[in-house]
Amino acid sequence: MKCPHRLLLAATAVSLLLGACTPLSSQIRQTSAAQQRQLASTFELEGRLSASDAERAASGRLEWLHSPTRDSWTLLNPLGQIAAQLEQGVNGAELVTADGRRYHARSADSLLPELLGVEVPVARLAQWVQAAPRREADIRETDGGGRPTLVIDAGWRIAYLEYAGTGADAPPRLMDISRGDTRLRLFIDRWTPTP
Query: How do residues 36-65 score in pLDDT, each as one tens digit?
Result: 688 899 999 999 999 988 888 888 999 999
In this predicted structure, the answer to whether residue 33 has a pLDDT above a threshold of 60 is: no
In this predicted structure, the answer to whether residue 148 has a pLDDT above a threshold of 80 is: yes
List the one residue out of 79, 85, 64 whose CA is nearest residue 189.
64
Q: Evaluate whether residue 7 is within a structural domain.
A: no
Q: Evaluate whether residue 18 is within a structural domain.
A: no
Q: Evaluate whether residue 159 is within a structural domain.
A: yes
Percent of the chain with pLDDT over 70: 81
Q: How confident is the model at residue 117, as a pLDDT?
A: 75
Q: Evaluate whether residue 163 is within a structural domain.
A: yes
Q: Evaluate whether residue 49 is within a structural domain.
A: yes
In this predicted structure, the answer to whether residue 109 has a pLDDT above a threshold of 80 is: yes
Q: Evaluate whether residue 22 is within a structural domain.
A: no
Q: Evaluate whether residue 61 is within a structural domain.
A: yes
Its domain, for residue 138, covers 41-193
Average pLDDT over residues 162-174: 94
- As for how many domains the chain has, the answer is 1
CATH number where 48 lies: 2.50.20.10
Q: How many CA atoms lie within 13 A of 22 on its CB side?
A: 6
Q: How confident is the model at residue 36, as a pLDDT?
A: 66
Q: Evaluate whether residue 20 is within a structural domain.
A: no
Angle, alpha carbons 41-168-166 (nearest 5°) = 120
Q: Report how far apart, in Å, the C-alpha atoms of 57 and of each of 18, 91, 117, 129 are.
A: 50, 30, 6, 21
Contact (Cβ atoms closer than 8 angstroms) between residue 164 and residue 173: yes
Q: Is 139 exposed, middle or buried (0-12, 13-18, 19+ CB in 10 A)?
A: buried
Q: How confident is the model at residue 11, as a pLDDT?
A: 37
Instruction: Please tell me the distance from the alpha carbon of residue 156 to that of residue 138, in angstroms, as a whole number.
Output: 10
Residue 160 or residue 122, greater confidence: 160
Q: How confident is the model at residue 130, as a pLDDT?
A: 95
In this predicted structure, the answer to whether residue 20 has a pLDDT above a threshold of 60 is: no
User: What confidence category does residue 16 fall into, taking pLDDT thresholds of 50, 70 and 90?
Assistant: very low
> Whole-model pTM?
0.78
